[in-house]
Amino acid sequence: MSNTLPPLPPGNLNVCVVGPGAIGGTIAARLAMARDHGLGKISVIARGAHLQAIRDYGLRLKTPVHPEPIAIPVTAVENPAELPPQDVVITALKGHQIPAMAGKLATLLASHGRIVPVVNGLPWWYPLPDGKGGVQGAPEVDPKGRLWRLVGAERAIGAIAYMGASVPEPGLIQVEIDGYLDLGRLPGQPREDVERLAQLLRDAGLTIRETEPFQNSLFSKLFSNCALNSVAALSGLTQAEIMADPTLRQQAAAIMEEVRALAKAEGAEIRMTTEKRLELAARDPGFKPSTLQDLEKGRPMEVEPIFGATVALARARGVPCPVLEAATEKLRAIERQRGFAD
């Protein structure tokens, strides 16, 4: 982290959630319900019917404990320019949606502001060699380096969500599994801001884990997503159906081992064995990974954040990943055919 980045100020912090969908909406609602715990104004950036519903009725939250929706007032805007500079910005967008917002996110952040990208896959702030003796974000998730340059990787606090939620209708967030958020930084980076934000989120009722090194959590998530999401999207099968097919099961296992080797090269440890992860995948007969869900619903798949950026990192580190590379190219071809790729 740059030594020139000012610390977060004392007192209440203003927080903006960009993308208050299933995960972002859960975080925003929890924060807005806990404003007396070191928090200032809570705002969200949304659009369309979701934005209008939040403005009309508040951000509504259903949980296993509160099955009747709780309406929570929050400031909701479409244009980030309508808000003052924020102390903390939490982005809960899919990885491919973030680069287009680089300029707006940079303007939204106060000079001391921190950004917390909650993403699947390799985040834009993760450093790869730039070929000139420095580092940059993977071009697959930060085209032309705009996020790295305008927002700044030094501002980023890593976040991974292990939660189950959905948006049954505009303005309504339904939490099925409370789960937790994992927050952290890379080794050697300051942690004071991580600890402060973690406590704010805990005070808001969220379960927070702080994994050190953060790469352990990051690569453990990639370990599952790169393998199970890719094979599911290419086959059209649920996780359990994949596990019942010896060839597809072996393909998933091969990708897991490739990601394990990459994690080791990055100084990270994936503690779960491949066989154990495959066994867990077989236990939920109807579960479809998010990439397959996106494909079936006609939405863009997160090909570059989950698969493309991971392949780019493996190439930069000289770690072979032929099975993942082949799966990535097939998924890219599908996206081109669907009109979702350049």
Say if residues 140 and 312 touch (Cβ distance below 8 Å): yes
181 in Cβ contact with 118 (< 8 Å): yes
DSSP 8-state symbol, 200: H
Distance from C-alpha of 309 to C-alpha of 94, rounded to nearest angstrom:
14
Sequence-separated (6 or more) residues with CB below 8 Å from residue 147 = 98, 99, 102, 105, 124, 125, 137
Answer yes or no: 221 catalytic: yes
Strand 128-129 versus strand 135-136 pairing type = antiparallel
Q: How far apart are CA 147 and CA 222, in angstroms?
A: 21
Neighbouring C-beta atoms of residue 2, cutoff 10 Å: 8
Catalytic residue among 104, 221, 276, 330: 221
Pairing state between β 158-169 and 135-136: unpaired
Distance (Å) of CA 165 to CA 20, 42, 102, 169: 12, 20, 27, 12
Q: Assign 90 to helix, strand or coil.
A: strand
Residue 166, classified by CB atoms within 10 Å of its CB into exposed (0-12), middle (13-18) or buried (19+), is middle
Structure tokens at 140: 């697959």
Which residues share a beta bridge with 60? 71, 172
34, 117, 199, 200, 203 from 38: Cα distances, Å: 9, 21, 9, 7, 9
Active-site amino acid positions = 221
